[in-house]
Amino acid sequence: MYDLAVVGQGYVGLPLAIESSQVGLKVIGIDIDLDVVRNLNRGISHIEDVSDNALKIVLEKNKFSASNDYSLLRQARIIAVCVPTPLDQDRNPDLTFINNAIKNVADNLQSGALVVIESTIEPGFTRNQAYPLLSKGGSSKTSFKLAYSPERIDPRNKRWNLKNTPKLVAGLTPEALAEAKNFYSKFVKEIHSCESLEVAETAKLLENTFRLVNISFINEFSEFCTKLDVNIKEVINAASTKPYGYLPFYPSPGAGGHCIPVDPIYLLNKARNIGAPTQFIKLADEVNLRRPYYLATQVENYLETLLEKRILVIGVSYKPDVADTRETPVSSLITALRDKGAYVDWHDELVKKWNGETSSEITDNYDLAVLATKHSNLNLENLKNTPVLTSYGSIL
């Protein structure tokens, strides 16, 4: 028997599984990727926030194991669903992973089990889609409880982690809420109960839409400062001295990752369905998508032409010190540079291989380098006198 089964062993699911096993729960991690399953059972982590040593300790204590066998869920009294909810090729919500996961959960539920969804979804999904799917499952004709608790994972954040980040929890019933709170309180310091599933679902979308809006705003504002020939860093530092009513954001190639550029689209999709206005969020999305092309234009302006110029893009993951390239704006940046005739290589020793290409060495054999994602272990000395465009849109 398992105290907990975690469906999805990525940036959300694996930390949840390991934290739970570290407090004494017996945990099974379910993932459809056989390579991930094999490596986890060998003590090899693919997530930066979970060390190999931490993984090996819970393996040795027989508190954690991984499998691709959904039938093992029949032995779990709590099941957490932590699968991706990305965008499809047309940038619409793609519910394929979560719908498949929930159907598999439904077919393998034991009576009285608690199901907690952590994946980001639009308001109403847990009540109106997940619950009916679970109720129709082969083994779901017996009773089960359903809760929603949105993930708040920020990879490589040294201050905020799963333990000290307040956890939002909502239940379909008071019993589900109580059981979910009891579960999370074993390893999370602060639990906040939401009055409904929809409050928790919407709060998650608000959090990351807030970030997208402000990231898009500061990127656009930095372009204004560039035209004005004013140092954006100094402007932000000056504004940050105000002790109230201001929160600093910093220019970048754009927002990437599995949350910030994705979650607002789930909000937009729901807004369209209910006829709510969304102009502000649409604009933020448009500005974010435009940002990499602005940086490509800055490169072109500096070099006067990009035709047959050699460019090295440094850092292709969506944020420093992670290997995650989901929704990375650097992809659009490289495409834009190549479309303008440049020969583009990229360097990222964390990512190593990406889009059928391999990380290149940092050398001075380039006309210009673009510092897109600044990992902490970067050594730029080999660039020598090569000019460098920063994510602020200025030349070092």
pLDDT in tens, 178-237: 999 999 999 999 999 999 999 999 999 999 999 999 999 999 999 999 999 999 999 999
- Over residues 25-81, the pLDDT tens digits come to 999 999 999 999 999 999 999 999 999 999 999 999 999 999 999 999 999 999 999
**Does the pLDDT of residue 378 top 70, yes or no?**
yes
Tokens of 195: 């009055």
The 10 Å CB-count burial string (b at 16+, else e) for 345-360 is: bbbbebbeebeeeebb
CB-based burial label for 124 (10 Å; 0-12, 13-18, 19+): middle
CA 46/CA 23 separation, integer angstroms: 22
- 140: pLDDT strictly greater than 50: no
Q: List the catalytic residues.
A: 259
DSSP readout, 276-318? ---HHHHHHHHHHHHHHHHHHHHHHHHHS--TT-EEEEE--SS
C-alpha distances in Å from residue 190, one per residue of 80, 168, 173, 282, 346? 19, 9, 21, 34, 42
In this structure, the number of other CB atoms found within 10 A of the CB of residue 70 comes to 18
Q: Taking residues 365-383, what's their average pLDDT? A: 94
What pLDDT, on the 0 to 100 scale, is given for residue 392? Answer: 82
Residue 139 has pLDDT above 70, yes or no: no
What is the share, in percent, of the chain residues with pLDDT greater than 90? 95
- Does the structure show a pLDDT above 70 at 154? yes
Within 10 Å of residue 141's Cβ, how many Cβ atoms? 12
Phi, psi of 366 (to 5 degrees): -135, 155
The fold adopted by the segment(s) 4-195 is: Rossmann fold (3.40.50)
Model confidence at 142, pLDDT cuts 50, 70, 90, reads low
Q: Are 149 and 176 in contact (CB under 8 A)?
A: no
Q: What's the mean pLDDT in 151-168?
A: 94
pLDDT in tens, 79-137: 999 999 999 999 999 999 999 999 999 999 999 999 999 999 999 999 999 999 999 87
pLDDT the model gives residue 393: 76
pLDDT tens digits for range 270-296 = 999 999 999 999 999 999 999 999 999
What is the domain partition of the chain in residue ranges?
4-195, 289-390
Architecture of domain 289-390: 3-Layer(aba) Sandwich (3.40)
The mean pLDDT value for 329-338 works out to: 97
Is residue 365 within 8 A of residue 310, CB to CB? The reply is: yes
DSSP state of 362: -
Nearest residue to 10 via CA among 25, 27, 30, 28: 30
Under DSSP, the state recorded for 109 is P
In this predicted structure, the answer to whether residue 148 has a pLDDT above a threshold of 50 is: yes
